[in-house]
Chains A and B, each alone.
Chain A
Amino acid sequence: MRQFLSAVKTDMLFQFRHGFYIAYLLVAIIYIILLKAIPSQYQEMLTIFVIFSDPAILGFFFIGGIYLLEKGQNILENIFVTPFKVTSYLISKIVSLTWIALIFCLLILILVYGFQINYLPITLSILLTSTFFTLLGITLVVRVGTVNEYLFIVTPLYITIFFLPVLEILDIYQSSLFFILPSKASLLLLEGAFRTLTVAEWSYAIFTLLIWIAIAFLFAKNIFYRYVILKIGDE
């Protein structure tokens, strides 16, 4: 546990020193200004979109950036010739990115809505969405070599697929197929801030996200071993 907490602390210090938190703060300020300025009939829709995209897109961007920075500093080969395990590495990244997503999302919501909305489904949605997208980001970023490839090819491709259910929120397109995507479950939980969710909705959303997280975790661990651990010491 001491080992794990130290890894989380180091990840947070790393993110802070590389300016990730400043970037997050700037994004949060823009979101707050936007949400306050928008006419009230669109506010709920935009809030759901913003709070979904924050841990999803930023988590995805940030994990990519963090991994590529660590790779650029060749730090990984040295971490994995210690008793530190890949599982701990992955969880440490999830924890360090999720808490910051949670803090900033709650900050945005409290400044815009005060305590008039239901924070339980929102908190759950942010935690699970951030976990999933961080893992998805890891499975993809370890295969690509450069920031450009990650930002301009991988991110748009995957974000488009996983953002399809947003079309429903924006009243553009609806499909029952969206129910298999984790993002549909995330968005449903976010709706729970403004209306009461049924037991079936709660169960569907949590179960779907947990399944996707389990799959993403196994993929991330396997791909990390193949693309990172087996390449340790390569020049």
Chain B
Amino acid sequence: MIEVNELYFTYPGKKEPTVKGVDFKIKKGEIFGFLGPSGAGKSTLQKILIGILKNYKGSVKVFNQDLNQIKSDYYERIGVAFEFPNFYSKFTALENLSFFRSLYCGKTENPNELLSVVGLGEDGNTRFSNFSKGMKMRLNICRALLNDPDIIFLDEPTSGLDPVNSKKIRALILRKKAEGKTVVITTHNMNVAEELCDHVAFIVDGRVMLIDEPNKLKVQKGKKTLRVKYEHKNVTQTKDFPISGLGENRKFLQLLNENEIHTLHSQEASLEDIFIEVTGRKLL
């Protein structure tokens, strides 16, 4: 779906490239996450992929077509939600969506239905300026889905959302994947990346440091141990056991039999730990 080889990009007037020799592939129907701190080159990469920055070096192919040669019909097939939800402030949610919908020639979604999906079904006639931050973020996702795009670019899709609405949006993203859509997420939220992404790319200083499946990384980079929290003589205690041969580990079995167990956790690494280990940088 998206194939990028040896991509370099330098902003006009700058000496140093912002994107330095990036390669990656994104398959149809997958959720791909770009993770990295601010200024790492994530948004530049996104601007190249959505066809705004054209004077890059290297090859970028989307839908088997060189991005340097795309025309405005490319936008019929992609949907973009930038990090900040911006709309006409004196228009209602429906007026805004209807306007953006009218800019497409192909098949489009019904704005009322999209609003209902994200829990804004009752708020279509409310002015955008009266929306809360969370409502604006959800409306922003609706706009990216108006043209039923094959590739959806989402920048920090759950930022500013309460847990209930964040869950709604994550479910919506997974539903789009189930429909065969490709989703490209840019984020520094590790939980979003862990939960949603089939592959993540770590980006630091304009380079991709690693691309892999979050679950595989967590197991590979984690300790192969199980941490047990238990109650012993009215004190909560913690003990680690190697996962291999756990079923025959006499000390482990004895601990299970003789104590009240609070929690059992395998010690796989968190994506954040792995990011710091691989890149030597923190995400924020």
Contact across chains for B99 and A6 when beta carbons are under 8 A apart: yes
* Residue with the greatest number of chain A CB neighbours at <10 A, chosen from B89, B103, B104, B147: B103
- A47-55, A77-85, A144-152, A216-224 - the one binding chain B: A77-85
Q: How far is the CA of A80 from the CA of B103 in the complex (A)?
A: 10
> CB-CB < 8 A to B86: which residues of A?
73-75, 77-78
Within 8 A of A (CB), among B77-113: 78, 80, 82-84, 86-91, 95, 99-100, 102-105
Chain A residues positioned under 8 Å from B76 (CB to CB) = 83
Is A210's CB within 8 Å of the partner chain B?
A: no
Interface size of B by CB at 8 A reads 30
Report how far A74 CA is from B93 CA in the complex, Å: 16
Within 8 A of A (CB), among B27-52: 43, 46-47, 50, 52
Verify A233–B95 contact, CB threshold 8 A. Answer: no
CB nearest to B74 among chain A residues: A83
Scoring A74, A77, A81, A233 by chain B CB atoms within 10 A of each residue's CB, the highest score goes to A81
B75 at the interface (CB under 8 A from A): yes
**Interface digits, B2-27 against A, CB 8 Å rule (1 contact, 0 not)?**
00000000000000000000000000
Asked whether A230 is an interface residue with its Cβ less than 8 Å from the other chain, the reply is: yes
Chain A residues with CB under 8 A of B50: 81
**Size bin of chain A's contact surface:** 20 to 34
Which chain B positions have C-beta within 8 A of A82?
Answer: 75, 100, 103-104, 147
Interface centre among B80, B82, B99, B105 (most CB of A within 10 A): B99
The reply to whether A7 and B103 form a contact with Cβ atoms under 8 Å apart is yes
Partner of A73, one of B78, B87, B147: B87
Q: Is A196 an interface residue (CB 8 A)?
A: no
The complex places the Cα of A90 from the Cα of B80 at a distance, in Å, of 23
Name A76's closest neighbour in chain B (CB-CB). Answer: B86
A233 cross-chain contacts in B, Cβ below 8 A: 43, 46-47, 52, 82
Within 8 A of A (CB), among B155-194: none
> Is A18 an interface residue, CB under 8 A from the partner?
yes
Q: Could you give, for residues 1-22 of chain A, a 1 whenever the CB lies within 8 Å of some chain B CB and a 0 otherwise? A: 0110011001001100110000
Is A159's CB within 8 Å of the partner chain B? no
A23 interface hit (Cβ, 8 Å):
no
Contacting pair A78 B53 (CB below 8 A): no
Closest CB of chain B to A13's CB: distance in Å? Answer: 7
> In the assembly, what is the distance between CA of A84 and CA of B103, in Å?
6
Q: Contact flags (1/0) for B66-79 with A, using CB distance below 8 Å? A: 00000011011010
- Indicate if the CB atoms of A14 and B103 lie closer than 8 Å: no
- Decide yes or no whether A232 CB sits under 8 A from chain B: yes
User: B47 is contacted by which of A7, A84, A232 (Cβ under 8 Å)?
Assistant: A232
Out of B53, B82, B91, B99, name the residue touching A77 (CB < 8 Å): B82
Interface status of B143 (Cβ within 8 A of chain A): yes
Question: In whole angstroms, how far apart are the Cα atoms of A235 and B43 in the complex?
Answer: 10
* 26 A-B residue pairings within 8 Å (CB atoms): A3-B104, A3-B105, A6-B99, A6-B102, A14-B88, A14-B90, A14-B91, A74-B86, A75-B87, A75-B88, A77-B82, A77-B86, A78-B86, A78-B87, A79-B100, A81-B52, A81-B80, A82-B75, A82-B100, A83-B72, A84-B72, A230-B53, A233-B43, A233-B47, A233-B82, A235-B43
A binding-site residues for B, Cβ under 8 Å: 2-3, 6-7, 10, 13-14, 17-18, 73-75, 77-85, 229-230, 232-233, 235
What are the 7 tightest A-B residue pairs by CB atom distance, in nearest-first order?
A6-B102, A74-B86, A17-B90, A82-B103, A81-B80, A83-B72, A84-B103
Q: Which residues of B line the A interface, CB within 8 A?
A: 43, 46-47, 50, 52-53, 72-73, 75-76, 78, 80, 82-84, 86-91, 95, 99-100, 102-105, 143, 147
